Amino acid sequence: MKGGNLELRAGIALGILIVGMSAAGIFFLPYGINDMESGRRFLPPQGRHLLGTDNFGRDVFSRIVAGGRYTLLTAILTVAGSALAGCVLGLVSGYAGGAGDEIIMRFMDALSSFPGILLALVMVALLDNGQFTLLIALLVLFIPSFTRIARSGTLQYKHRDFIRAAEIMGASGGRILFRHILPNLAPSLLSAAVLGLSNAILAEAAMSYLGLGIQPPIPSWGRMLAESQNFLFNAPWCALAPGMMIMLTVLAFHILGEGIRRRWC
């Protein structure tokens, strides 16, 4: 329990720091994210430029802060949408059982078998290459995990005495699912959602690195890594800054999710 509390506190502190920095960037940035100046290309970290400048003379710190809100927003929307869809499917599947349960879960198995990159490529071919396409691809990719968690919990609770009592009293299926079963699944779903944020951030960074996600001139940490690989040895700070932010953010949400799981699950 003490270990769980320590993880929970460390995850909350680190998460607040990262999210707060990204939110503050909405109101103030030292430099514009696309302000270019040829005379300050590849400046190392110093007083005026805390994390140096890139190949276009843009301030890396400003782009890191601005890129955080795009990366975090994509991850939050992905997890929120997939959690909502997965919870509904999992609750209905577990409570109804029978052929409906079999169809839903086989469809989830089929979705899980798709590699994420392949799914993103299919989405890009059908829609367009951009943040919205990336969001749809990641949302679909994350639905099966939440569906399985909700279904497993529903199977665990649907034969309990308090559910039987609600059925005898004439409660509808929707009321039983969303008023009696879902609140009992909240800790597990919350832990999965927070852990899902770390996975979504990694997935977004990987997709953007491959050019399938957020497109220039909008900054994102994965895209910044891709743009800096050609001058990794000449200006390593351009790659280290987004790489460290990805690592710290993933670590923060992973620790927070584990802390929630140990504390309440």
CA distance 213 to 97: 38
Sorted by sequence, the CB contacts under 8 Å of residue 191 that are 6+ apart come out as 257, 258, 260, 261, 264, 265
Interatomic CA distance for residues 177 and 91, integer angstroms: 7
The residues, any chain, with a CB within 8 Å of residue 214's CB and separated by 6 or more, are 70, 71, 74, 130, 131, 134, 204, 208, 220, 222, 223
**C-alpha closest to that of 18 among 259, 247, 199:** 247
Averages of pLDDT over runs of 10 residues in the chain (265 residues) are: 70 92 88 85 88 90 91 91 94 90 92 77 71 82 93 91 88 88 91 91 86 80 88 90 93 90 77
pLDDT at res. 1:
46
CATH architecture under which domain 2-23+51-264 falls: Orthogonal Bundle (1.10)
What is the DSSP secondary structure assignment for residue 181, as one 8-state letter? I
Instruction: Let me know: does 78 contact 200? Beta carbons within 8 Å.
Output: yes
In this predicted model, what pLDDT tens digit does every residue of 236-248 receive, in sequence order? 999 999 999 999 9
pTM reported for the whole predicted model: 0.88
Q: What is the C-alpha separation between 124 and 118, in angstroms, rounded? A: 10
